[in-house]
Structures are given as C-alpha cells and as structure tokens.
Copies of this chain bind each other. A is one copy, B any other.
Amino acid sequence: MSLLVKGARIVTACDDYVADVHAEGETITTIGRQLDIPADVVLDGTGLYLLPGGVDPHVHLDFPFGDTKTSDNVQTGTIAAAFGGTTTVVNFTQQLPGERLQATLERGLDTAEGNAAVDYGYHLIVTSLDEQTLPDLDTLVADGVTSVKLFMAYPGLVMVDDRTLFQVLERTASLGALTCVHAENGDVIDVLVQRALAAGRTGPAWHGRTRPELAEAEATHRAIALAEMADAPVYFVHLSCREALDEVTRARDRGRPVYAETCPHYLYLDDRVYDEQGGFDVAKYVLTPPLRPAHHQAHLWRGLRNDDLSVVSTDHCPFCLKGQKTLGVGDFSKIPNGGPGIEHRLVLLHSGGVVAERLSLRRMVEVFSTAPARLFGLFPSKGTIAVNSDADLVLFDAGATHTLSAATHNMNVDYSLYEGMAVTGKVTSVIARGKVIVEEGKYVGRPGDGRYFKRGPSGRG
C-alpha cells in the first residue's frame, strides 16, 4: 500500500515549500520535486496546503460527568476529529475513588479499543495518591501514559490538595512525563457558587460570574511554584485569561519549563453570552473556565504568537443542550461543564489566526500539531511532515469559505458554539498513517483504523 501526494504546498513548523510526498505503508519515505514513484493512491495537491495531521491533546470522549457522559463517544468523536484534520487525540480516563491507576488505564483502553477513527493516547486524571500508590505512576509511564492531569478545582469531587500535586509533579518529572493542571482555586469558587445559589442566582449565566480570572491566575501561579520546588515541568490546560497568561509568561521568562494551551472558544467568544435574557440556552456556554471579557482575546493571540502559549487544544467535552445541559435547570452548578470543538480547531486557527494575520502559517501548524506532539511524547511519529514520520497528512484549501453550524457538523451534539459563523479554509482530504480517511467531505475510513499510541517522554526545547 503506497500513497503519493503531488504538488501541494507543504507547511511544517519550520518549512514551507512545494513538493511531492510519497508514503510506503504508514510512513513517509520520500519528499521531492516531481517524484516519479508509483503509488496505489495518488492525490493531487496543487493549490492546496499539505499539513501534518493535527494533534488534539485535550478531548473528552466517553467521559462521565455525574450520571451522564459526553455525547461524543470515541467513535463519533474521532470521526469528527478526522473531519477537522486532527489525526491524533489524547483522551482522558479518570481514576475512581480508591482505584489503582492501571485499572483506570484499562478502563480507558477498553472503551477505545476498535472504535477510534484516528490514533489516540490517554492522559490519566489522578484524584488521589499517597506515598504507597505513587509508584503506580511508574508503570503507567511504561505503558505509554506519559502525562497525568490533576484538578485544583471542584473540591469534594476531583480537587487534589497541594501535597498530592507536589508529589505527582516530582514523580512524573523524574519519569520524563508531564503533569497537566486544571488551574482554578476551587475553594474560592465553591464559596462564590454556594453564595450565588443561596441568593437565588441559579441560572446558567451565574456559572461565568462565580469563576473570576484571579481564581485561575492564583492557581496557575501556585502550580508553577510547586513545579519549581519539585523541579518539574508543568502544563496548563485551557488557559483562558490574561492574568493566568502573565503568570506563565513570567515563569517562562525566567527559564522554567512551563507550558500552556488555550482553546478556540477563548479566542473567539466572550462573556457577553452570560446574559440573563438568554434563558437556559446560555447553558451552551457553561464551559470551565468560563468565557472571559473580550479584551482577553488579544492577549491570548499574542501569547500564541509569542510562544507563551504552546498549544491550541479543543477541550472537546460535549453535552447536548436538551437532556444533558438541562440537568442544571434551576441550579447552574449541576449543568454538565463543557462544549463541543474537536472538529473545528484547524479552521478556526486558520481564519482567526492566519487570515486575520495574528499567526504565521508555520506557527499555526506548530500550535495545531507539532508542539502538542512534542510535549506529549508523540513526536516525530506525529507532528511533522518528514521522512520516517507517520503519513498523517491534511490537504487544506486555504481559500474555501463555509459556515459553521450544528446542522452540518459531524460532532454528536445538538448545538454549535459558532452557529452561523463564516470561516475561511477547508479540510479537503485527510490521511492517517498512509490511508485516506476523509475525502471530498466524506468519511471513508472505518472505526478501528485508529490505534493506541504508547507515548514516549515529554519533549522540550
């Protein structure tokens, strides 16, 4: 089985040139001018960009929230990812109370086995560890789970104390792995939420009003300090505001291995959606952290441009407005937190970043694919177009325009955060390990194409 993509404009995190790409089996073997190599499949890339397949390091598929779970399972979610040019995802599996970490991983792997349209890894969400169970992390790393996630929010549910966070930071660092942190001060937020509810402020708009930027910035600073004392790297998921970015920037300026991702919704949407007049539909925007005032957006774009933000992930965590978000009617704290996004990361980065001249094309590729591949131990199999790398490739028509809508998207959720928004740029074909899985707007692969990726050490520098 072989593939030849001819005449596309190849864009990677550092290069930009026109050439042909040939893959034997799953791997890129030759890149050159007008290659004259026979291939089973030949695609014409003339006039298109050829990008490395996207790496989305923050998705929730088959993910439980109380008694419900995300509306996308591994199958529907990874197909939507493929449509959007993402050929690798890192999903989450969360430790149950008292559960040993290997069991947690097994549950995740079982869920995904045979269902994924694209390659996948797992982060493990740690909810409690002690001196006895810390060594579980070692086995996990050996099994290709080279990142864990901890919550500084949601006391009584998943929040860990600083003792746990500090010890996990130390241990993962010693293993070459990476600790991801949800940074919000859960204690303060909990007081604000309880007070709002007690005052009868129960509507979804109050979700946004009870999670101040400073609660995020404080936790960001704290985790950076703990990581420094542990001599560990740290990665912040879904950074949403300037104040938290400033903490990351300061730490990076003094040379600390501190990384952060933001998400398209923080780059595009703002807190004006949290409007009492919106009724319960506002629950669509019950994301955590919440959407922020619009002035933060310019800072987040700047952070991406400057490499103070390393990655754009989606934090895809979809719940249908009807039947799922409605669990929180009358009590916003019961609304499942999260929103859909796995499908539109590339096109939103292209429209708002490249077309709007906020990001160079190569920087777009870097935050979309190369940087997450490096940080999460997937590089160089993933994250670039180079000889010996996996033939994960996206053909992208930079001039095509279309409109985002729940009516046309492939995610299994009944609303879009960007309903009616016109965007520029369109994925035309997607190749995963040498096999075409999206072509002319159709999914032509099959679930199970995607394999578990045993990830290596987190890469830096």
Contacts and interface: CB of A to CB of B under 8 A. Distances in A.
A17 B386 CA distance: 8
A387 B461 contact: no
A188 B162 contact: yes
B388 A33 contact: yes
Contacts of A308: 253
Contacts of A167: 191
Interface residues of A, number: 61
Contact of A14 (B15, B17, B221, B460): B15
Contacts of A14: 12-15, 366, 370, 384
Interface in A282-339: 302, 305-308
A447 interface: no
Task: State the majority secondary structure of interface residues on A.
Answer: mixed
Contact of A222 (B13, B218, B254, B386): B218
A405 interface: no
Q: Which 6 A-B pairs have the closest CB atoms?
A: A360-B461, A30-B32, A218-B225, A162-B187, A163-B187, A14-B14
A410 interface: no
Given A30-B33, A185-B162, A386 B218 contact: no
Contact of A15 (B17, B22, B228, B380): B380
Interface in A1-37: 12-19, 22, 29-33, 35
Nearest to A362: B461
A244 to B, nearest CB: 11
Contacts of A188: 162-163, 166, 226, 229
A35 B14 CA distance: 24
